Amino acid sequence: MLTVERLTKRYGPAVAVDDITFIAHSGRVTGFLGPNGAGKSTTMRMMVGLTKPTSGTATVLGRRFTDLPNPGREVGVLLDASAQHAGRTGREILTLAAQTMGLPASRVHDMLARVSLTDTEAERRVRDYSLGMRQRLGIATALIGDPQVLILDEPANGLDPAGIRWMRDLLRSYADRGGTVLLSSHLLHEIEVIADDLLVIGHGRIVAQGTKADLLATSGTLVQTRDAAALTAALDSAGTTFTEHGLRKATGIRTLRVDADPEHVGQHAATAGVALLDLRPAEGAGLEEMFLELTAETQREGAVA
């Protein structure tokens, strides 16, 4: 379990992380989302002792990361796949990690196989690796100590679709075995597929947190009808807001996104005698829409990273 309590980081007058509190629970994947410069990377760096907080605490399994006697055996970290020694081979990097943690040499072979790096690739210098290969090596380094917790910042960068699927399955199985995963990514679809819980940060503050199901339940309803005029009149009279989501000109079918749950929409449609062709939670585009709505005021360039 990861616990963050009132964590704050200031750089002079600039506030990168502003009094945030959250828990990433065991057996679950927690998606950590926010625009560039929102404070995600700074938060993760404070959690693993790379950046000193101005105030507040971050603990891993009840202790600060810097107090863990052998951190790699308890916490696997991947913050920047490019920050690996370019002159060493992949096998050398894993061998050094294993030696530092007091692990048998056999773990190196096991990890190379687990992340699908071949023997030939393992003997190449990291400077000759693609970004996707560096990501696989970074994940192998994070996993080599068989930790209880994973902290990963954009681990899917550079992976092809098959690699993204592989990573998703790996992290899902890791959490299902009781591990804790904190995963930052700009790939909203991947977060939506894999995450159990969501944290959304903007301007250094948590703007939303909770289970994925609960947060996406607030994303509204998608409804389809041929009688959009009658439905919108019914929704207007009930004070329910909605937006146009699509029109099939050939059939006259309109799709609306309504800021209410499906039961509410269905009741007003029935009262107005409107036939509905589709009525469902707006989960298909829910995460993207929720993310953009929650972070609309924090989408900015030049923010503190």
Beta bridge partners of 56: none
| The pLDDT of residue 54 is above 60 | yes
Looking at residue 182, its pLDDT comes to 97
User: The tokens 């329910």 sit on which residue?
Assistant: 240
166 with 89, same domain: the answer is: yes
CA distance 217 to 198: 13
Q: What's the CATH number where 239 sits?
A: 3.30.70.120
Q: Of 166, 186, 210, which closes a domain? A: 210
As a whole number, mean pLDDT of residues 134-159 equals 93
Is residue 292 domain-resident? Answer: no
The DSSP annotation for 186-218 comes to S-HHHHHHH-SEEEEEETTEEEEEEEHHHHHHT
163 with 57, same domain: the answer is: yes
| The pLDDT of residue 274 is above 60 | yes
Looking at residue 303, its pLDDT comes to 42
The answer to which of 17-31, 163-177, 200-214 has the lowest mean pLDDT is 200-214
Which residue, 145, 134, 130, 139, is CA-closest to 183?
Answer: 139
**Which domain does 275 fall in, by range?**
220-282
Residue-averaged pLDDT of the chain: 89
Amino acid in the structure at residue 241: T
Number of structural domains the chain divides into: 2
Q: What confidence tens digit (pLDDT) does each residue in 249-268 have? A: 778 899 888 888 888 899 99
As a whole number, mean pLDDT of residues 267-292 equals 80
Beta bridge partners of 5: 57
Is residue 301 domain-resident? Answer: no
205 with 227, same domain: the answer is: no
The answer to which of 17-21, 36-40, 66-70, 175-179 has the lowest mean pLDDT is 36-40
Give 304's contacts (C-beta < 8 A, 6+ positions apart). Answer: 11, 14, 15, 16, 37, 39, 42, 204
Q: Of 156, 180, 210, which closes a domain? A: 210
The answer to which of 43-57, 163-177, 214-228 has the lowest mean pLDDT is 214-228
Which residue, 139, 123, 142, is CA-closest to 131?
Answer: 139
68 with 171, same domain: the answer is: yes
Q: Output DSSP code: residue 125.
A: B
By residue count, the chain amounts to 305
140 with 243, same domain: the answer is: no
Looking at residue 251, its pLDDT comes to 81
Looking at residue 112, its pLDDT comes to 96
CA distance 50 to 44: 9
Cα Rg for the chain, rounded, in angstroms? 23
Sheet containing strand 55-60, strands side by side: 14-24, 2-11, 55-60
Amino acid in the structure at residue 85: H
141 with 244, same domain: the answer is: no
Looking at residue 235, its pLDDT comes to 93
Helical spans, DSSP H, in the chain: 40-47, 90-101, 106-114, 119-122, 131-143, 161-176, 188-194, 212-217, 228-237, 262-271, 286-294
Q: What confidence tens digit (pLDDT) does each residue in 105-130 have? A: 999 999 999 999 999 999 999 999 99
CA distance 88 to 98: 15
Amino acid in the structure at residue 176: D
58 with 93, same domain: the answer is: yes
Is residue 293 domain-resident? Answer: no
The answer to which of 29-38, 152-161, 166-175, 245-254 has the lowest mean pLDDT is 245-254
Q: Of 210, 243, 270, which closes a domain? A: 210
Give 67's contacts (C-beta < 8 A, 6+ positions apart). Answer: none
140 with 224, same domain: the answer is: no
197 with 225, same domain: the answer is: no
pTM of the prediction? 0.77
Looking at residue 285, its pLDDT comes to 52
Coil, helix or strand at residue 26: coil
Looking at residue 185, its pLDDT comes to 84
| The pLDDT of residue 82 is above 60 | yes
More confident of the two residues 305 and 179: 179
Q: What confidence tens digit (pLDDT) does each residue in 141-152 have? A: 999 999 999 999
Binned at pLDDT 50, 70 and 90, residue 301 comes out as very low
As a whole number, mean pLDDT of residues 221-249 equals 87
Which residue, 186, 159, 146, is CA-closest to 38?
Answer: 186
Is residue 26 domain-resident? Answer: yes
238 with 161, same domain: the answer is: no
Amino acid in the structure at residue 22: F
Q: Output DSSP code: residue 89.
A: B
| The pLDDT of residue 248 is above 80 | no
150 with 65, same domain: the answer is: yes
Whether 183 contacts 31, CB under 8 Å: yes
Q: What's the CATH number where 169 sits?
A: 3.40.50.300
CA distance 207 to 291: 10
97 with 40, same domain: the answer is: yes
| The pLDDT of residue 212 is above 50 | yes
